[in-house]
Each structure stands twice: as C-alpha cells, then as structure tokens.
Amino acid sequence: MKTVLKVCKKIISVLTVLVILTLAVVVIAVKASGGEPTILGYQFKTVLSGSMEPTFQTGSIITIKLTEKDQQYSKGDVLTFIDKNENLVTHRVTEVKKANNETLYTTQGDNNDGADLDPVLSENVVGHYTGFTIPYLGHIVNYAGSKSGAALLLFVPGILLFIYGGLTFRKAVNDFKKQHETASTNQ
C-alpha cells in the first residue's frame, strides 16, 4: 500500500510540474509572438465569436496552416483572412471567382444566415483551418495575452514551483535526519 501511495505522489508531482511549465510556456509563447504562437508554419488562433458554430465553439483554439505563395482554395475550405476593418475572421468559402488575375473568395460563417458582404482577396488570406481544435483553451490564451493574465500565469507557476521545491527540500532533510538517527541507534 505504501508503494502505491509513493507512486501516486510521484505521478501527482510530475503532473503538477508539467502543468506549471505548460502555463509558463503558453504565456511566454504568446508574449514572444505578439499574440498567436507559430510553429512549423502552423498558427494557433482563438475563436472569438460563434459565427462558425458548431464547427468550433467560441473560446476554442484552432490551428491554421499559413498560406503559401499563390496557394488556391476551394469551396468548402475554412479560411482565416483579414477583413476590410483589419480584423482576423475565420469563415468557410462558399464561392471562388477569378477576376483580373485575382482570386476572390465569397465566405460565410457556418452559423450565419448569409454570406459575408465583401469578397476576400487572395492576398488577404492568412491561412486555412487544419481541422485541429482545442475547446475552451482560447479563453486562457486570451487571458495570458493580457498584462494581468501574463503576470498571474507567470507568478502562480513561480510560487507553485517555489512551494514544491520547499516541500521537496523539507522531505529530503527529514529523510536525511531519519537515516542519521537510524545510523546512530544502530551503532
């Protein structure tokens, strides 16, 4: 029974450290990238509205593959693009048109009644949805991007690591004392 408890304590310790380190990495990655982290040509985006529900929920994290030069998309693809107000939008392509050597995409949110008013120029497409979604993690990433969130998400893991280190040190000292006392009584 004591062995099972020791194993459980070890597993909990390792998981705690992993969660703390993951939080720190998320905050640092968000701060370093100026918003959304990019890894190997893929970028993580936070879903801010319900326009694409049920494909992905508000507050989810989605991955997009960044657009390569002269990349073409088809009807049904889900694109992330910059709209006329300089906002990032992720909607599905409902129609593709060619005009004056330019590709125009008509887009619509899956949860919207009609197509977006303005067609999307191919040069405004940032990337396309890869099908990978993590529900609700976007709320944490958005919070990590704020000053108070970054401070809290770096401060809390730091405090937890400090406490964990203190507890580990205390246990090591107690174990050393027990070994020393056992050695003294055996002599």
pLDDT tens per residue across span 65-114? 988 888 889 999 999 999 989 988 999 999 999 888 889 999 999 999 99
- Between 177 and 83, the higher pLDDT residue: 83
Query: What is the rounded average pLDDT of the residues 117-140?
Result: 87
Catalytic member of 33, 49, 51, 146: 49
The question of whether 74 is a catalytic residue gets the answer: no
For residue 161, pLDDT beyond 80: no
Which pLDDT does position 95 carry in this prediction?
93
Has domain 38-135 been given CATH number 1.20.120.420? no
pLDDT, one tens digit per residue, over 9-37 is 788 878 877 877 776 676 666 666 665 66
43 CB neighbour count, 10 Å cutoff: 20
Question: Residue 3 — very low, low, confident or very high, per pLDDT cuts 50/70/90?
Answer: confident
- Between 29 and 179, the higher pLDDT residue: 179
pLDDT, one tens digit per residue, over 46-65 is 888 889 889 888 888 888 99
* Chain-centre distance for alpha carbon 165: 27
Query: What is the rounded average pLDDT of the residues 132-143?
Result: 80
Query: What is the rounded average pLDDT of the residues 161-178?
Result: 83
Which residues 6+ apart lie within 8 Å of 62 measured at CB? 44, 45, 47, 56, 90, 129, 130, 132, 133
Which pLDDT does position 125 carry in this prediction?
92
Q: Give the whole-angstrom CA distance, residue 17 versus residue 7.
A: 15
Q: Give the whole-angstrom CA distance, residue 30 versus residue 105.
A: 30
Residue 158: name the closest of 14, 24, 12, 11 by CA.
24
Which pLDDT does position 73 carry in this prediction?
92
Helices 147-186 and 2-33 cross at an angle (nearest 10°) of 150
Q: Give the whole-angstrom CA distance, residue 91 versus residue 100.
A: 24
